[in-house]
Amino acid sequence: MTCCGEESDGNGLPKESLKVQKQGFTDIPCCLIFLVFVGGMGYIAAHAFINGDIYRLYYGYDSYGNTCGRKNSKIESLQKFNISNNGRDMTDKTKVFFLDIKNFKSAISLCVKKCPESTLSSNKDIKNFAEKADSNLCTYETDVDEYESQANGKLGPCPSLPVLASTSILSRCVPDLLKAKKTLDQANRTRLGNVLTEYFSEVSEFLRESVLDFVKKWKEVLIVCAITIVLAFIFVFILRFIASVVAYLSMIIAVVGAIAGTLFVWWKFYDIIKREEKLKDYSIPFINLDVSNKKVFLGLGIFFSICTIILILIVVVMFKRIRLVAALFHEAGKVFMNTPTLLFQPVWTLLVLGVYLLFWAMSMAFLVSSEPPKYRNDTMTVEFKRDTKLTIFYAYYFVALIWICEFIIACQQMVVAGTVTDWYFDREKEFATFRVLRSTKNLILFHLGSVAFGSFIILLVKLPRAILMYIDQKTRGKKTKCAEFMLKCCQCCLWCLEKALKFLNENAYTIISLLFSYFTLTKRELEFSYSN
Residues 46 and 90 in one domain: no
To the nearest 10 degrees (0 to 180), the angle between helices 345-368 and 388-421 is 170
Residue 314 within any structural domain of the chain:
no
Min mean pLDDT across 1-10, 264-273, 331-340, 515-524 is at 1-10
Q: Both 38 and 94 in a single domain? A: no
Q: Which domain holds residue 110?
A: 76-200
Cα 455 from Cα 453, distance rounded (Å): 5
Beta-bridge partner residues of 289: none
Residue 332 lies in a domain: no
Does residue 388 sit in the same domain as residue 516? yes
466: which strand partners?
none
Nearest partner of 383 among 90, 66, 93, judged by Cα: 66
Boundary (domain end) residue, out of 154, 178, 200: 200
Q: What is the pLDDT of residues 456-484, one digit of tens each?
A: 999 999 999 888 888 887 777 776 777 77
Same-domain status, 46 and 148: no
Alpha-carbon torsion 329, 335, 338, 340, what sign? negative
Greatest C-alpha distance within the chain:
107
Q: Residue 244 above 60 pLDDT?
A: yes
| Co-location of 16 and 164 in the same domain | no
For residue 166, pLDDT beyond 60: yes
Which pLDDT band holds residue 288 (cuts at 50, 70, 90)? very low
Given this model, what pLDDT does residue 291 score?
Answer: 44
State whether 113 and 10 are in the same domain. no
24 compared with 154, residue with greater pLDDT = 154
Q: Same structural domain for residues 11 and 86?
A: no
In angstroms, rounded to a whole number, what is the distance separating the alpha carbons of residues 415 and 192? 54
Other residues' Cβ atoms within 10 Å of the Cβ of residue 205: 12
What is the C-alpha separation between 192 and 169, in angstroms, rounded?
15
- Whether 377 maps to a domain, the answer reads yes
Alpha carbons 105 and 397: distance in angstroms, whole number: 26
CA angle 223, 227, 230 (to 5 degrees): 140
Query: Rounded to whole angstroms, what are the CA distances from 213 to 39, 58, 210, 217, 338?
Result: 36, 21, 5, 6, 39
Instruction: Please tell me whether the peptide bond between 116 and the residue prior to it is cis, using omega within 30 degrees of 0.
Output: no
pLDDT score for 349? 87
Sign of CA dihedral 92, 127, 66, 100: positive
Is a pLDDT exceeding 90 seen at residue 331? no
Q: Are residues 121 and 43 in the same domain?
A: no
Q: Would residue 162 count as lying in a domain?
A: yes
Task: Check whether residue 500 and residue 406 sit in a common domain.
Answer: yes
Instruction: Enumerate residues 6+ apart whose C-beta is below 8 A from 492.
Output: none
Statement: residue 408 has pLDDT above 90? yes
| Partners of residue 67 on adjacent β-strands | 61
**Separation CA 525–CA 518 (nearest Å):** 11
Contact 155, 108 (CB under 8 A): yes
Q: Which of 152, 170, 200 is the last residue of a domain?
A: 200
Q: Quick one: 357 and 487 in the same domain?
A: yes
**How many whole angstroms separate alpha carbon 374 and alpha carbon 366?**
18
Element (H, E) at 166: strand 166-169
Q: How far, CA to CA in Å, does 372 sit from each of 75, 94, 368, 387, 449?
A: 10, 22, 10, 8, 37
User: Is 275 a residue whose pLDDT tops 80?
Assistant: no
Cβ proximity of 401 and 41 under 8 Å: no
Is there a single domain that holds both residue 512 and residue 466? yes
In this structure, what are the phi and psi dihedrals at residue 124, rounded to the nearest 5 degrees? -65, -40
Same domain, 376 and 523: yes
Whether residue 407 lies inside any domain: the answer is yes
How far is residue 440's CA from residue 342's CA, in Å, rounded to a whole number?
A: 12
Task: Report the sign of the C-alpha dihedral through residues 351, 356, 361, 365, in that order.
Answer: positive
Residues 6+ apart with CB under 8 A from 23: 442, 446, 516
> Which H or E run includes 168?
strand 166-169
Distance CA 311, CA 155 (A): 66
pLDDT of residue 280 exceeding 70, the answer is: no
Domain count along the chain: 2
What is the rounded CA–CA span in Å between residue 212 and residue 348?
A: 25
Minimal CA–CA distance to 411: which of 445, 438, 461, 448? Answer: 448
Cis link prior to 162 (omega < 30° from 0)?
yes
pLDDT in tens, 40-61: 999 999 999 988 888 888 888 8
Do 459 and 494 meet the contact criterion of CB atoms below 8 Å apart? no
Among 168, 183, 200, give the residue marking a domain's end: 200
pLDDT at position 176 over 80? no
Establish if 222 belongs to a structural domain.
Answer: no
pLDDT of 289 higher than 60: no
Residue 13's pLDDT band (cuts 50, 70, 90): very low
Residue pair 419/439 in contact by the 8 Å Cβ criterion: yes
| Res 447 pLDDT > 80 | yes
DSSP assignment letter at 445: I
Top pLDDT among 427 and 322 is at: 322
pTM for the whole structure: 0.69
Question: CA-CA-CA-CA torsion for 319, 321, 324, 325, nearest 10 degrees?
Answer: -40
Asked whether residue 119 is assigned to any structural domain, the reply reads yes
In whole angstroms, how far apart are CA 501 and each of 398, 508, 511? Answer: 21, 10, 15
The confidence score (pLDDT) of residue 65 equals 87
> What integer best gives the mean pLDDT of the chain?
77
The CA radius of gyration of the chain, in Å to the nearest whole number, is 31
Q: Is residue 334 part of a domain?
A: no
Q: Are 411 and 350 within 8 A, CB to CB?
A: no
